[in-house]
Amino acid sequence: MVSIQVRSLTQVIAHYLLTALFALLFVDLATDIGSTMPMLALSGVTAGLFLLAAVVTAINDSGHNQSHKSLTEWTWLGRARWEQLSIVGLIAVGTILRVYALGAQSLWFDEAITVNAAMAVLEHGRPVFPSGYTYWRAFPHTLVVSTSMAVFGTTEWAARFPSVLFGAGTILVTYWLGREASGPRVGLLAAGLLTFATWEIAWSRQARMYQFFQLLYGLAILLVLRADTQEDLDIHRLGVLVVVIGLAAATHPIGYILLPVTVAYLSVTAVVDGQLTVRSTSSVVGVAVVLTILFELVGPGITGALETVTATDVDYWDTYVSWGIDEFHAFFYLAAVGAAITVYTRARRAGFLYMLAVAPPALILSFSTQLFATRYLYFALPFLVIWATIAVVYAATQVSTLWPSTPLSEISIQQVRSIVSILLIGSLMIGGGFTVAPQQEYQLGINAPQPEFAEAYEYVNQNRAPDDVIITGWTAPGVYYAGGVDYWLAHDLTGTGGSYTVSGRERYSGAEPIRSAEALTATLNESGEAWVVLDQATYLRQSEQTQRVISRELRVANQTAGTVVYTTRDR
């Protein structure tokens, strides 16, 4: 009796706070008062109350009201015709947004690393750079890029095209994940948000591993959730799960966390269901052993990952939160509430698993990863939009209960819920973070600079003589666009204190490092003619003495978006 009263009280308070949160979000949308209103605290308290109500409910019913069966019978595109047309339409629109003018922007440094590795695979059979360094990072993605370039040519478009396909696939996986958590309405609306999210579109146009990893991560979580709905795990399902998790871990280190997430989830649900048998235990242990061995063979392994995590002590939490608010606005606040509502409603299992999938890696990235990079959180975006959608649909459901029910059929009430959900989401999208028209260029953020290297090196290639030397701060684009560089104007590439050299040569190009103003002066004097390609970031990372040498000994020959070409010719 007491637990029921506690649940009712927390539910009522949570509903009032959710109403207040939506009111503040719309006020902020109209007047931009977010910096002075405690919306983050309000969303946190609201989420906490829904979680408390969920815990009280779980204790009260001892888990008997939560079936291990899926909420919906599995279909690829839904059972209703409108549902099938909607998801196919979203995938088509998402593909157009992502493929439009795909080769327009220059490769930036990280992209050029991947592309050079893929071209090396085509030429040498392995991703070896001119320095002799072999780039095994994200090798499954490198193989996909090399395949695309073998088919379509060694262009920027060909290198980025696989990410477009993976991005389109992630729209479908998001629909599946949302549908498993809260039905087809949530699945479609979440897939719609992901389709038009600017950050998602931007990264699904890059020749890097992040889109591939996002797809694999979401697919792995879906397979784990679906495995729990089966009466008996068979070897084929376990095999597919092992392959997907293995590919995810080989693509990005965050994928390692899928192993403990899978073991923890399947173990907990087996205990709750009273199905912790010798067979189920053997299946979980077997998956864990196979993946552990695989991780040790293809990468730093579990032990290496743990050593890295435990040896690093940083605090990027507030920075990531501030970035999330700036990028996703209202949907960031609603995601925390939606995560709690998922557990509070009938989808406790999906809610529990999705939290396991996002919370631990988010904490590791915030407190135990040396480099701050928003792209590391890219894998979590499908879950964020699903949670935000669940919060919106839950609010729309509460609103629809106020609608006069006597003259309306139950189907009409469902339509009211859908209309209110779409209106709420559409209104909140006005706050920013979404793109509905194709764009030629996208910005990836402060820690992913995108200078226009293509035009800069085109100018160099048109004007240099065969014996001229090339000096640059970002070497990989020079390898792609100019066939190689001679000298690296050394700087800390990631801000983490790495050396980035192999046998005294820069890792990604084999260029000779220049580490001082004196060394730069000597190189310029010894060279016949020199071309120096720098962006603002690499220029500012040089010492004042080196900057003075650049100003004194070189002249500006060409300027493009974010890039300056200097030369010793006609000084």
CA separation for the pair 367, 459 (Å, rounded): 44
- Place 303 in a pLDDT band, splitting at 50, 70 and 90: low
Among 373, 372, 342, residue whose Cα is nearest residue 356: 342
- Place 405 in a pLDDT band, splitting at 50, 70 and 90: low
Domain membership of residue 28 as a residue range: 1-65
Q: Say how many C-beta atoms besides its own lie within 10 A of residue 270's C-beta.
A: 18
- Place 71 in a pLDDT band, splitting at 50, 70 and 90: low
The pTM for the full model equals 0.93
Residue 59 above 80 pLDDT? Answer: no
DSSP state string for 434-464: B--S--S-----TTS----HHHHHHHHHHH-
* 42 in a structural domain: yes
Six-digit token string for 44? 């946190």
Query: Alpha carbon 74 to chain centroid distance?
Result: 26
Total H helices, total E strands in the chain = 23, 8
Q: Identify the pLDDT of residue 75.
A: 74
Whether the CB-CB separation of 273 and 369 falls below 8 Å is answered with: no
Mean pLDDT calculated for residue range 284-299:
68
266-272 contact pairs (CB < 8 A, 24+): 266/224, 266/227, 266/228, 268/352, 269/68, 269/228, 269/349, 272/63, 272/66
* 219 in a structural domain: no
**Type of residue at 319:** T
- Place 34 in a pLDDT band, splitting at 50, 70 and 90: low
* 557 in a structural domain: yes
Secondary structure (3-state) at 231: coil
Q: Identify the pLDDT of residue 39.
A: 86
> How many residues are listed for the chain in this entry?
571
Q: Say how many C-beta atoms besides its own lie within 10 A of residue 82's C-beta.
A: 10
Q: In sequence order, which residues have a C-beta less than 8 Å from that of residue 6 and are 6 or more positions away?
A: 52, 56
Domain boundary residue, one of 31, 65, 99 = 65
Query: 67: alpha, beta or left, given left = phi > 0 and alpha = psi -120 to 50?
Result: beta
- Place 65 in a pLDDT band, splitting at 50, 70 and 90: very low
Mean pLDDT calculated for residue range 198-210:
97
Question: Regarding predicted confidence, which is higher, 30 or 210?
Answer: 210
Whether the CB-CB separation of 61 and 355 falls below 8 Å is answered with: no
Whether the CB-CB separation of 337 and 50 falls below 8 Å is answered with: yes
Six-digit token string for 274? 């009273």
Question: Regarding predicted confidence, which is higher, 454 or 228?
Answer: 454
CA separation for the pair 318, 408 (Å, rounded): 48
Q: What is the pLDDT of residues 311-364, one digit of tens each?
A: 678 899 999 999 999 999 899 999 999 999 999 887 888 999 999 999 999 999
Q: Which of 192-196, 236-240, 355-359, 481-485 has the lowest mean pLDDT?
A: 236-240
Mean pLDDT calculated for residue range 22-44:
80
User: Distances from the Cα of 478 to the Cαs of 131, 149, 361, 467, 553, in angstroms?
Assistant: 14, 19, 34, 16, 22
- Place 543 in a pLDDT band, splitting at 50, 70 and 90: very high
Question: Regarding predicted confidence, which is higher, 475 or 269?
Answer: 475
Mean pLDDT calculated for residue range 111-123:
98
Q: Identify the pLDDT of residue 399.
A: 80
CA separation for the pair 558, 333 (Å, rounded): 45
Q: Identify the pLDDT of residue 239.
A: 83
Q: What is the mean pLDDT of the chain?
A: 87
Whether the CB-CB separation of 105 and 441 falls below 8 Å is answered with: yes
Q: What whole-number percentage of the chain has pLDDT above 70?
A: 85
Q: Identify the pLDDT of residue 79.
A: 75
- Place 229 in a pLDDT band, splitting at 50, 70 and 90: low
Q: 15-24, 306-315, 405-414 — which one is most confidently predicted on average?
A: 15-24
Residue 63 above 50 pLDDT? Answer: no
Q: What is the largest CA-CA distance in the chain?
A: 90
Angle between helices 39-61 and 330-344 (to 10 degrees): 10
Number of compact structural domains in the chain: 2
Q: In sequence order, which residues have a C-beta less than 8 Å from that of residue 89 and are 6 or more positions away?
A: none
Residue 297 above 80 pLDDT? Answer: no
**Type of residue at 473:** G
Six-digit token string for 394? 């839950």
Q: Identify the pLDDT of residue 64.
A: 46
* 559 in a structural domain: yes
Question: Regarding predicted confidence, which is higher, 23 or 287?
Answer: 23
Q: What is the pLDDT of residues 148-171, one digit of tens each?
A: 999 999 999 999 999 999 999 999
CA separation for the pair 207, 138 (Å, rounded): 12
Domain boundary residue, one of 65, 82, 113 = 65
* 462 in a structural domain: yes
Q: 19-33, 68-82, 544-558 — which one is most confidently predicted on average?
A: 544-558
Q: In sequence order, which residues have a C-beta less than 8 Å from that of residue 385 and are 6 or more positions away?
A: 174, 190, 193, 194, 197, 331, 335
Whether the CB-CB separation of 191 and 174 falls below 8 Å is answered with: yes
* 411 in a structural domain: no
Mean pLDDT calculated for residue range 450-466:
95
DSSP character at residue 513? E
Q: Identify the pLDDT of residue 173.
A: 97
Whether the CB-CB separation of 190 and 389 falls below 8 Å is answered with: yes
| Sole residue written with tokens 């290639």 | 461
Q: Identify the pLDDT of residue 238.
A: 79
Q: Identify the pLDDT of residue 27.
A: 86
Domain boundary residue, one of 65, 83, 100 = 65
Whether the CB-CB separation of 486 and 470 falls below 8 Å is answered with: yes
User: Distances from the Cα of 270 to the Cαs of 184, 275, 288, in angstroms?
Assistant: 27, 5, 16
| Sole residue written with tokens 């226009």 | 452
* 525 in a structural domain: yes
- β-pairing, 530-535 vs 469-472, is parallel
Secondary structure (3-state) at 505: strand
Q: Which helix (H) or strand (E) holds 47?
A: helix 39-61
- Place 274 in a pLDDT band, splitting at 50, 70 and 90: low
Q: What is the phi/psi pair of residue 489, to 5°? A: -75, 95
Q: What is the pLDDT of residues 498-532, one digit of tens each?
A: 778 999 999 999 999 999 999 999 999 998 899 99
**Type of residue at 238:** L
Residue 66 above 60 pLDDT? Answer: no
Six-digit token string for 150? 């073998």
* 6 in a structural domain: yes
